[in-house]
Amino acid sequence: MPIEAAVASSEILLLARREEEIALIREATNCHRINVVAECPDVVSFLRQQGRYANASRPDLILLDMDLSKTEECEVLTEIKKSPEFKRIPVVVIASSERYEDVFQAYDLHANAYICKPTDRTELVRVLRTTLQFWLTLVRLPRE
Amino acid sequence: MPHPAIDILLVEDNPGDIFLIREALAMGSVPKRVHVVEDGEEALRYLSNQGKFRDASMPDLILLDLNLPKIDGRQVLEIVKDTRNLRHIPIVVLSTSTSERDVVSAYEHHANCYLSKPATLEKFFDLVRQLEEYWLECVALPAV
ipTM score: 0.95
Instruction: Write down the pLDDT at residue A144.
Output: 65
For the stretch A53-109, pLDDT in tens is: 999 999 999 999 987 777 888 899 999 999 999 999 999 999 999 999 999 999 999
For the stretch B109-126, pLDDT in tens is: 999 999 999 999 999 999
Instruction: Write down the pLDDT at residue B1.
Output: 52
Q: Return the beta strands (E) in chain B as ranges.
A: 6-11, 32-37, 61-64, 91-95, 113-116
CB A5 within 8 A of CB A131: no
Round to the nearest angstrom and report the end-to-end CA distance of chain A: 22
Instruction: For chain A, say whether B116 makes contact (Cβ under 8 Å).
Output: yes
* Nearest CB neighbour to B108, from listed A87, A116, A140: A87
Chain A residue numbers with beta carbons less than 8 Å from the beta carbon of B110 are: 81, 87, 110
**Distance from A135 to chain B by nearest Cα, in Å?**
9
- Residue A121 reports pLDDT greater than 90: no
Instruction: For chain A, say whether B112 makes contact (Cβ under 8 Å).
Output: yes
Q: Which helix (H) or strand (E) holds A13?
A: strand A12-15
Chain B residue numbers with beta carbons less than 8 Å from the beta carbon of A127 are: 138
- Residue B2 reports pLDDT greater than 70: no
Chain A residue numbers with beta carbons less than 8 Å from the beta carbon of B140 are: 98, 103, 114-116
What is the rounded distance in angstroms from the CA atom of residue A69 to the CA atom of residue A71? 6
What is the rounded distance in angstroms from the CA atom of residue B60 to the CA atom of residue B79? 17
Instruction: For chain A, say whether B58 makes contact (Cβ under 8 Å).
Output: no
Indicate left, alpha or beta for A30 from its phi (over 0: left) and psi (-120 to 50: alpha). Answer: left
Instruction: For chain A, say whether B85 makes contact (Cβ under 8 Å).
Output: no
- Residue A3 reports pLDDT greater than 80: no
**Interchain CB distance below 8 Å, A88 and B108:** yes
Instruction: Provide the Cα torsion B75, B64, A95, A41; round to 10°.
Output: -30
Q: What percent of chain B has pLDDT over 70?
A: 97
The nearest alpha carbon in chain A to B60 belongs to: A104
Least confident of A114-123, B29-38, B50-59: A114-123
- Residue B91 reports pLDDT greater than 80: yes
DSSP 8-state secondary structure symbol assigned to residue B59: P
Instruction: Write down the pLDDT at residue B143.
Output: 78
For the stretch A15-53, pLDDT in tens is: 988 888 888 888 887 766 789 998 999 999 999 999 999
Instruction: Write down the pLDDT at residue B3.
Output: 64
B2 backbone dihedrals φ, ψ, rounded to 5° = -70, 140
Cα Rg of chain B (Å, integer):
14
What is the rounded distance in angstroms from the CA atom of residue B128 to the CA atom of residue B123? 9
Average pLDDT over residues B63-89: 97
Residues forming beta bridges with residue A37, ordered by sequence position = A15
CB B113 within 8 A of CB B84: no
**Interchain CB distance below 8 Å, B144 and A130:** no
For residue B100, how many other CB atoms are within 10 A of its CB? 12
For residue A58, how many other CB atoms are within 10 A of its CB? 13
> What are the residues whose beta carbons fall under 8 Å from the beta carbon of B79, sequence distance 6 or more?
B44
**Interchain CB distance below 8 Å, A112 and B116:** no
